[in-house]
Structure 1
Amino acid sequence: MPICKLNDVKQSISDGQRLLGLDIGKKTIGLALSDAGLKIATPVKILYRTKFTPDVAELFKLVDEQNVGGLVLGWPVNMDGSTGPRCDSTRDFAYALMRIRDVPVFFQDERLSTQAVESAMIAADMTRAKRAVRRDALAAGWILQSALDTIHDRAITPE
């Protein structure tokens, strides 16, 4: 299965399946799940990266348990919209996942996702320690919710 566009989500996954959002970092992967109606993203957990094989095994365990039909990966473009080494790394990660399992993968612009959740946590007066523990899962939720909003906005037909 190739990397898909968000406007192909409805054709790429079965009814009732969910999407799993990933915020891929060097040390962690933040995870968030959509509901079956593809409307709401909920941060789930953070995977602390070790080696690719056990990380992917844990990821696909969640995919199987939660009836996930597709993955939404944060696409780390630069602020000017250009791609760089982080995009190359994310693309390589996506292709490695697809070699293990035939699963639709979608990219969602993640610019300012971490800053957005960090600002919200500061506004909620969370300590640095609590922010560090939740940051990546919340960023994954922000990325996935942005994708769900995009999917929903495209599904609405103008009158």
Structure 2
Amino acid sequence: MVTTPLEAELLELAGSVPDPELPVLTLRELGVVRAVHARGTDTVEVELTPTYTGCPAIEAMSLDIQRVLRDHGVLDVTVRTVLAPAWSTDDITDEGRRKLREFGIAPPRVRPASGPVRVGLGPTRTRESRPGDETDPVRCPHCGSAETELLSRFSSTACKALRRCLVCREPFDHFKEL
């Protein structure tokens, strides 16, 4: 797909909007703004993919994108929800992962290959990884320890779990892998 200089500029503006649930991240860093299509100089369509189908923040994201683009002279802004391809935590940028960690939220672990995500319900504690382990441990964003435990599979939002570090004893959110 060819992107015009205007579309690239508008994509940057739409992507600069803070996420309403995690304002430390922009929508670009979260990876949910997929494309901007200019239809002339004053009509724009933005493709937005929610982190999951029932995401309650999609309306706030759409309104914020419309406001930012209108503030920059675009008269007609349509934000269209696009469900395919589905959003994945792989879409979070390296900068977004860094910001999550600095904000005290363990970022989602990076998966080595694309494809289905194995959902395991077993152990609630993590440890240093050993050769042959399928996943890396969830590290504490405060002290970096791999010795953490799951307190709740859900936290302040459905996309996060609540964990506690067994070394520094601090609780923290973990952005779950999807």
- TM normalised by structure 2 equals 0.26
Report the structure, 1 or 2, having the larger helix content: 1
Point out the structure with max Rg over C-alpha: 2
Task: Output the TM-score relative to the length of structure 1.
Answer: 0.28
